[in-house]
Amino acid sequence: MAIPPDYVFSFMHPWVNIHTHKIRNLGIELLNANIGAPVNSGVTFSLGLHPWHIAETRLEEALKMLDKQAGNQAICAVGEIGIDRAIATSLEIQIRVFNAQHHIAEKHRLPVILHCVRAWSDLAALHKQMNPKVPWIFHGFNGSLQTAQQLIKLGCYLSFGTALLQQAKVKEVFQKIPAEYLFLETDDSDEKIENIYQKAAELRHICIDELKDIVYTNFVKVFGTRCTKTG
């Protein structure tokens, strides 16, 4: 029986690193950048105001700049943005800044990459309230299985990084969530994305090529073809 062409090529997709601070020119990489940073057309970026930097930022100026830069074709997502209950900046201010940035993401139809520390319920509540039209991706997910299931029920995606190499709880969650809601990343670590894929494939009991096919399919579903450049 002849093998359909689509099947032959389905396992030839590139690595996808959904969130990184260190470009390695390997496959598709979304480089996290600060608002106002130079945007190189040869790189794909996520751009946003991290909760850690709210207190030191001129918010009105930063939000205007984000709105302007979000129209650049090299910008593929707004992020990382979110809520962090472990910092001094008040929850009220964090939510206000998050809402403003999310409005920009909706305006430009860009997915959102989320930073979340001790704020799963806060962001889940905001999702229900806002009913977003753009996808939400929780980066560096390290929550419980129950939290993962709640977020997936809302239609959110979960991205896993180096915790897959270290934390038993995260490994268990990763094994049990639906494949159509997962991404992989290196974040700010020096770990190679290939090593994270290797561990992820072992945990799912599939080969790396099949995992690459899954993650790339998710990427195209969330980002379309706008950001499928490879290094």
Quote the CA–CA distance of 155 and 131 in Å, as a whole number: 10
Say which CATH number the domain at 70 has. 3.20.20.140
| Cα 185 from Cα 56, distance rounded (Å) | 27
CB count within 10 Å of CB 3 equals 7
| Residue 3 belongs to some domain of the structure | no
Q: What are phi and psi of 188, to 5 degrees?
A: -100, 15
Side-chain half-sphere exposure of 20, counting CA atoms within 13 A: 25
The reply to whether 1 falls in a domain is no
Q: How far is CA 36 from CA 18, 39, 63, 182, in A?
A: 21, 8, 10, 30
Q: Over the stretch 50-67, which tens digit does the pLDDT of each residue have?
A: 999 999 999 999 999 999
- pLDDT for 4 equals 40
pLDDT at position 8: 37
Distance (Å, whole) CA 51 – CA 34: 12
Does the pLDDT value for residue 11 go beyond 70?
no
How does pLDDT run across 148-191, given as a tens digit for each residue?
999 999 999 999 999 999 999 999 999 999 999 999 999 999 99
The mean pLDDT value for 13-41 works out to 93
Q: Is 113 in a helix, a strand, or coil?
A: strand
Report the predicted TM-score, pTM, of the whole model to 2 decimal places. Answer: 0.93
Q: What is the pLDDT of residue 45?
A: 96
3-state secondary structure of 26: coil
- Residue 204 CA to residue 172 CA, distance in Å, equals 10
Q: Does residue 228 register a pLDDT over 80?
A: no
Residue 80: is the preceding peptide bond cis (ω within 30°)? yes
Indicate if the pLDDT at residue 3 is higher than 60: no
Is 4 within the bounds of a domain? Answer: no
pLDDT at 5 over 60: no
How does residue 229 score in pLDDT terms, banded at 50, 70 and 90? low
Q: What sections of the chain are H helices per DSSP? A: 5-10, 59-69, 91-108, 120-130, 145-153, 168-176, 193-204, 208-223
Structurally, the chain folds into a number of domains equal to: 1
The answer to whether residue 109 sits within a structural domain is yes
CA 105 to chain centre: 14
Question: Which tokens is 62 given?
Answer: 């930063």
Question: Is residue 74 within 8 Å of residue 226, measured between CB atoms?
Answer: no
Angle 145-153/120-130 helices, nearest 10 degrees?
Answer: 10
pLDDT band at residue 195 under the 50/70/90 scheme: very high
Is residue 231 included in any domain, yes or no? no
When the pLDDT of each residue in the chain is averaged and rounded to a whole number, the result is 93
Q: Report yes or no on 78 lying in a domain.
A: yes
8 Å CB contact between 221 and 52 = no
Q: Which residue has the higher pLDDT, 12 or 222?
A: 222
Q: What is the pLDDT of residues 101-120, one digit of tens each?
A: 999 999 999 999 999 999 99
Would you state the structure tokens that stand for residue 163, as one six-digit string? 């915790």
Which residue has tokens 């399919």? 217
* Token pair in block for residue 75: 């910008």
Residue 9: is its pLDDT beyond 70? Answer: no
In a domain, 90, yes or no: yes
- Is residue 129 in a domain? yes
SS3 142: coil
67-106 pLDDT tens trace:
999 999 999 999 999 999 999 999 999 999 999 999 999 9
Could you tell me the residue range of the domain that residue 79 belongs to? Answer: 21-223
**pLDDT value, residue 39:** 84
